[in-house]
Amino acid sequence: MTLQTHILGYPRIGAKRQLKFAEEQYWKGEISQQQLLQQAQAVEHSNWQAQIDAGLSLLTVGDFVYYDAILTHAVRLGIIPARFATEAAKLNQLDQQFYLARGRAANCQDVAALEMTKWFDTNYHYLVPELVPQQQFKADFSELLAQVDRAKAFNTPIKVVLPGLLSFLYLSRIVATEHSSHVLPACACGNDHTSVNADPTTLQFVDALLPIYADLFDQLKARGVDYVQIDEPILVLDLAVEWQAAFERVYNVLQRRDDLGLILTSYFETLGANLNLAVNLPVAGLHIDISREKAGEFFWKKVIDQLPAHKILSIGLINGRSVWASDLLALNEIRRTAEQALGDRLWLATSCSLLHVPVDLSSEQVPADIAGKLAFARQKLDELVSLAQGRLDSKTQPTTTPDHSFALLAQSRAEPFAVRFKAQQAKLNLPLLPTTTIGSFPQTSSIRAARAAWNKGQLSDADYRAAMQKEIAYAIAQQQQLGLDVLVHGEAERTDMVEYFASLLDGFWLSKFGWVQSYGSRCVRPPIIVADIHRPQAMTVEWICYANGLTNKIVKAMLTGPVTMLNWSFPPAHRSRREVCLQLAEAIRLEVADLQDAGIAIIQIDEAAFREGLPLRKADQAEYWDWAVKSFQHCASSARVDTQIHTHMCYSDFKDCLAQISAMDADVITIETSRSGLQLLDVFQQHAYPNAVGPGVYDIHSPRTPNAAHMRQVIDKALQSIPAERLWINPDCGLKTRNWEETRAALTELVHMAKQLRAELSAQS
Ligand code: GLN
Ligand code: ZN
């Protein structure tokens, strides 16, 4: 018997990022909407063709969206916040999506875009729908129905994907007034700024949405659709009782007595405490993700035991979050056991949408030691069908880097902060409220041109080095003129804060086309950790020392921390994240030592993604924090008492983790503050943060010159809880996305504000 096979979704960017390029051309007015649609439908078609070619039994439809699936669903439900409404009335649904996501559209007034935030524990970002208490819905699913019609050409049973009613509401937010919803574009680093929202008041919209879903199901049924995949990923979270109760109510109302099969999908975790709830919902089937099961947990067996006799169970065996080939022999054991219990009620699937892995490995030049061990989205389709057909022998086993039980014991600095800080102050001799920046300066077209020429072999290594040195010299001269106290080299030589270090460390492989959608048309190319991490030689010392030699001021070195390196890479297949993180930390620890030996007195270890790997369930979080904090401490452990360690986070939601942030024990932390309405500083006040802090005094995402009074407010507020001796003045993130003119204007104001404040403080004392 061949089992049903399906995926939960496929990457929509296209193997060569066609959709990205087409969208960006469209936004610039270079191609028409018709041309964009053509290119998009070509990708949609090739995604379906890939499923057909691989031999999947169900064709997945509706996962293809232009910007984000939650956004698309919101627009199809007519959820257009008031600030967009007048202009949006002139636009069709596609342009409405772009307008809400970007805050701009041709011939429309610019307004603040929808907020975006991380999709569960992935690096994908969705747009957060904004609902008002009197929200009206006006459904129009004609584009989805047109998609279904296009898919019919394949003569294959169709499964349509939809965001589940409850997950959709859970991930939305209620805004009381139009003004409270003002939000700025997400951080340039792709970092998340809020966590998943679970405001139970969004449940008030259940009754309004139920008939819309029921009606849509009727229309899909009438179109000949066989199954609807209802994504309810919140079923893996620690759900409050009102959400659990809502599941029962919603699916009792939506249950079907005809043969439109509703398949409720959960992913990124096991069903956990929601198991009993989920198996008893009146739907045709459930999908579970087994890729996150702990060794020996066999949660899937519990699901099978409790599943009522007529229901379908789709088991997500092929890991949709990993770039490694599946161990098909091991998975086949699971399949055999499950099949004995379920017969043809067993479906085989990917654990989640394949959106989170790169599209296709076939155009990559994979190094010999990992050849045959990787699988991107296209390859995972083949794995799935091989598993269903029992064709297992041709498959190579996945990477088998053995667990070395890496015997490194995480170290930390010997002296307490108070002792270190005193020694550092004596050595650094900085003014009160020192001014600095977060690391990067504008990535100008001359930097990009030099790098492109070097990559193409048109510029020699020596000429490239000279070109970068020129940029560094320029950045140093600018900072001197501006009168900043602690200078940086500007990061001209770095493409990306993770990729740069990954390219210099052993143990990483950088693919050429391994792009993954981060948000909208933005893609990232996460490095892949393929072996033990080693630092063959110093990575930053030469650049930093070059900068240091150009000035009498202190130059702060810039490194990327181990937790961020790990969270923005694909981890290896068979090693614990903790172990890999400690290896990365060891590499950074050595770099810290080398920088220090070369005479660098301040070293910043960026941890922009420190919080991003946090497990979804509370019960698993303590373990993560333990190794994340220890890894950071380990990096800093080679610093002498008078070497000052900074860290930076472009993140503000510290309510639930200030204890861990404190435990990192950086001498100075610079953080995003300006956008979070200073709430962050309340958290610091409540918890009496012990070390030094540089609250970002202005938002670098805005091209506008910051207002001195606003910057001053941040510091005045900070001074209420943190003594001036422990305060720094800096922007809230790196300046690489700004131009020099904006940067000079902003920093002039910043330095001016600092000087004035210093004068006032010394007059008072
Ligand atoms: N040092 C980095 C920069 O300034 C930090 C970037 C970030 O926080 N994402 O660009
Ligand atoms: Zn930042």
Burial class (CB within 10 angstroms; exposed 0-12, middle 13-18, buried 19+) of 702:
middle
First-to-final CA distance of the chain: 85
Name the closest-CA residue to atom 4, ligand 1: 734
CA 484 to centroid of ligand 2, rounded, Å: 19
- Greatest CA span in the chain, whole angstroms? 86
CA distance 444 to 602: 26
pLDDT digits (tens, 9 = 90+) for 485-512: 999 999 999 999 999 999 999 999 999 9
User: 545 among the known binding-site residues?
Assistant: no
Which ligand 1 atom sits nearest the alpha carbon of residue 190? 9
CA distance 693 to 273: 40
Could you tell me how many helices (H) and strands (E) the chain has, helices first? 25, 22
CA 655 to centroid of ligand 2, rounded, Å: 18
CA distance 53 to 47: 10
Nearest ligand, measured from the Cα of 733: 2
Q: Which two tokens stand for residue 585?
A: 């930390």
Probe target for ligand 1 pocket from 189, 493, 560, with the most ligand atoms within 8 Å of CB: 189
Probe target for ligand 1 pocket from 606, 611, 737, with the most ligand atoms within 8 Å of CB: 606
The overall average pLDDT reported for the chain is 93
pLDDT digits (tens, 9 = 90+) for 264-309: 999 999 999 999 999 999 999 999 999 999 889 999 999 999 999 9
CA 672 to centroid of ligand 2, rounded, Å: 7
User: 189 among the known binding-site residues?
Assistant: no
In angstroms, the Cα distances linking 326 to 20, 88, 474 are: 29, 46, 50
Pocket of ligand 1 (CB under 6 A): 189, 438-440, 491, 497, 558, 606, 608, 648, 650, 733-734, 736
User: 646 among the known binding-site residues?
Assistant: no
Name the closest-CA residue to atom 8, ligand 1: 608
Name the closest-CA residue to atom 6, ligand 1: 734
pLDDT category of residue 16 using cuts at 50, 70 and 90: very high
User: 522 among the known binding-site residues?
Assistant: yes
Which ligand 1 atom sits nearest the alpha carbon of residue 649? 8
Q: What local confidence, expressed as pLDDT, does residue 514 receive?
A: 97
Q: Which residues, other chains included, contact 342 with Cβ-Cβ below 8 Å and sequence gap of 6+?
A: 304, 307, 313
Probe target for ligand 1 pocket from 440, 479, 543, 568, with the most ligand atoms within 8 Å of CB: 440
User: 130 among the known binding-site residues?
Assistant: no
Count of beta carbons in the 10 Å neighbourhood of residue 296: 5
User: 149 among the known binding-site residues?
Assistant: no
User: 230 among the known binding-site residues?
Assistant: no
Amino acid 683 reads: V
> Is 4-389's fold the same as 421-764's?
yes
CA distance 466 to 484: 25
pLDDT digits (tens, 9 = 90+) for 100-117: 999 999 999 999 999 988
Q: What local confidence, expressed as pLDDT, does residue 408 receive?
A: 57
> Is the model's pLDDT at 217 over the cut of 70?
yes
Nearest ligand, measured from the Cα of 651: 2
- The helix (run of H) or strand (run of E) holding residue 265 is strand 261-265
Which ligand 1 atom sits nearest the alpha carbon of residue 439? 4
Map out the domains of the chain as residue ranges.
4-389, 421-764
Name the closest-CA residue to atom 5, ligand 1: 734
Q: What local confidence, expressed as pLDDT, does residue 403 receive?
A: 47
Q: What's the topology of domain 4-389?
A: TIM Barrel (3.20.20)
User: 676 among the known binding-site residues?
Assistant: no
CA 5 to centroid of ligand 1, rounded, Å: 43
Name the closest-CA residue to atom 3, ligand 1: 734
Q: Which two tokens stand for residue 177?
A: 């007034």
**Which residue bears the tokens 């063959």?**
536
User: 606 among the known binding-site residues?
Assistant: yes
> Is the model's pLDDT at 193 over the cut of 50?
no
pTM of the model as a whole: 0.94
> Is the model's pLDDT at 677 over the cut of 70?
no
**Which residue bears the tokens 């039980």?**
405
Q: What local confidence, expressed as pLDDT, does residue 161 receive?
A: 98
**Which residue bears the tokens 């379906």?**
48
Q: What local confidence, expressed as pLDDT, does residue 675 receive?
A: 66
pLDDT digits (tens, 9 = 90+) for 623-641: 999 999 999 999 999 999 9
Can you list the alpha helix ranges (DSSP code H) found in 508-649?
Answer: 541-548, 562-567, 577-597, 618-636
Which ligand 1 atom sits nearest the alpha carbon of residue 734? 4
> Is the model's pLDDT at 203 over the cut of 90?
yes
Q: What local confidence, expressed as pLDDT, does residue 574 receive?
A: 84
Which ligand 1 atom sits nearest the alpha carbon of residue 648? 8
Task: Identify the sign of the CA torsion 566, 572, 576, 582.
Answer: negative
Name the closest-CA residue to atom 9, ligand 1: 189
Nearest ligand, measured from the Cα of 494: 1
Count of beta carbons in the 10 Å neighbourhood of residue 243: 22
Q: What local confidence, expressed as pLDDT, does residue 195 receive?
A: 42
Nearest ligand, measured from the Cα of 743: 1
Probe target for ligand 1 pocket from 123, 558, 648, with the most ligand atoms within 8 Å of CB: 648
Which residues partner with 350 through β-bridges? Answer: 318
Amino acid 678 reads: L
**Which residue bears the tokens 């070369």?**
598
User: 672 among the known binding-site residues?
Assistant: yes
Specify whether the CB–CB gap between 22 and 39 falls below 8 A: yes
pLDDT digits (tens, 9 = 90+) for 17-50: 999 999 999 999 999 999 999 999 999 999 999 9
> Is the model's pLDDT at 404 over the cut of 90?
no
Q: What local confidence, expressed as pLDDT, does residue 281 receive?
A: 98
Q: Which residues, other chains included, contact 440 with Cβ-Cβ below 8 Å and sequence gap of 6+?
A: 488, 490, 491, 494, 734, 735, 736
Specify whether the CB–CB gap between 128 and 29 falls below 8 A: no
**pLDDT (mean) for 686-702:** 90
CA 647 to centroid of ligand 2, rounded, Å: 10
Nearest ligand, measured from the Cα of 190: 1
CA distance 613 to 574: 17
Q: Which residues are catalytic?
A: 701
pLDDT category of residue 1 using cuts at 50, 70 and 90: low
**Residue 559 CB-half CA count within 13 A:** 33
Which ligand 1 atom sits nearest the alpha carbon of residue 608? 8
pLDDT digits (tens, 9 = 90+) for 728-751: 999 999 999 999 999 999 999 999
In this predicted model, which residue has the larger pLDDT, 187 or 725?
725
Listing DSSP states for 355-390 in one string gives GGS-S-STTS---GGGTTSB--HHHHHHHHHHHHHT
In angstroms, the Cα distances linking 477 to 122, 439, 480, 489, 491 are: 40, 15, 5, 10, 15
Q: Which residues, other chains included, contact 288 with Cβ-Cβ below 8 Å and sequence gap of 6+?
A: 266, 270, 271, 299, 300, 303, 313, 314, 315, 316
Specify whether the CB–CB gap between 513 and 504 falls below 8 A: no
Which ligand 1 atom sits nearest the alpha carbon of residue 560? 1
Name the closest-CA residue to atom 1, ligand 1: 439
Q: What local confidence, expressed as pLDDT, does residue 197 receive?
A: 54
CA 533 to centroid of ligand 1, rounded, Å: 23
**pLDDT (mean) for 166-186:** 70
Closest listed residue to residue 64, CA positions, set 187, 151, 194: 151
> Is the model's pLDDT at 262 over the cut of 70?
yes
Name the closest-CA residue to atom 10, ligand 1: 734
pLDDT category of residue 411 using cuts at 50, 70 and 90: very high
Q: Which residues, other chains included, contact 565 with Cβ-Cβ below 8 Å and sequence gap of 6+?
A: 498, 501, 502, 584
CA distance 74 to 202: 14
CA 88 to centroid of ligand 2, rounded, Å: 33
CA 733 to centroid of ligand 2, rounded, Å: 4
Task: Identify the sign of the CA torsion 462, 467, 471, 473.
Answer: positive
Nearest ligand, measured from the Cα of 475: 1
Probe target for ligand 1 pocket from 192, 436, 491, 495, with the most ligand atoms within 8 Å of CB: 491
Q: Which two tokens stand for residue 636?
A: 């800093």
In our burial notation (b when 16+ CB lie closer than 10 A, e otherwise), range 219-232 reads ebeeeebbbbbbbb
CA 647 to centroid of ligand 1, rounded, Å: 10
pLDDT digits (tens, 9 = 90+) for 62-94: 999 999 999 999 999 999 999 999 999 999 999
> Is the model's pLDDT at 230 over the cut of 80?
yes
8-state DSSP, 736: T
Backbone angles phi, psi at 113, to 5 degrees: -70, 165
Q: For the domain bounded by 421-764, which CATH number is listed?
A: 3.20.20.210
Specify whether the CB–CB gap between 260 and 227 falls below 8 A: yes
Q: Which two tokens stand for residue 513?
A: 């086309």
CA 245 to centroid of ligand 2, rounded, Å: 40
Which ligand 1 atom sits nearest the alpha carbon of residue 187? 9
CA distance 371 to 391: 20
Q: What local confidence, expressed as pLDDT, does residue 465 receive?
A: 98
Specify whether the CB–CB gap between 637 and 145 falls below 8 A: no
Q: How far is CA 601 from the centre of its chain?
A: 32
Closest listed residue to residue 57, CA positions, set 97, 1, 141: 1
